[in-house]
Amino acid sequence: MIELIRTNDAVIISFVEALLRDAGIGSFTADENMSVLDGSIGILPRRIMIDADDADEARQLLADAGIEHEIRRK
């Protein structure tokens, strides 16, 4: 799995999860429980992880939705 995005923004997380789900791309949101442990003050970002085989399609999906700035680059 690779990291598609990393953010503290719950709205972006929900939006990306919905986009991926609707496109049939499996994803996993990592660090969801850790963000709760930090008291929801936003110190620990959550990460959306996807299969490397879906990376190009997922990146294009986010670009088409106008949120390509959220894509994690290595």
Task: Identify the pLDDT of residue 35.
Answer: 55
The token pair at 42 is 């936003």
pLDDT digits (tens, 9 = 90+) for 2-57: 999 999 888 999 999 999 999 999 999 998 776 566 565 667 888 999 999 999 99
- Backbone angle region of 48, left / alpha / beta, with phi > 0 → left and psi within -120 to 50 → alpha: beta
Report whether pLDDT(74) > 70. Answer: no
Task: Identify the pLDDT of residue 73.
Answer: 79
- We report the CATH number of the domain holding residue 52 as 3.30.70.790
- Domain carrying residue 38: 2-70
Exposure letters 43-63 (e unless 16+ CB within 10 A, then b) = ebebbbbbeeebbeebbebbe
User: In total, how many domains does the chain have?
Assistant: 1
Report whether pLDDT(61) > 90. Answer: yes
Task: Identify the pLDDT of residue 37.
Answer: 62
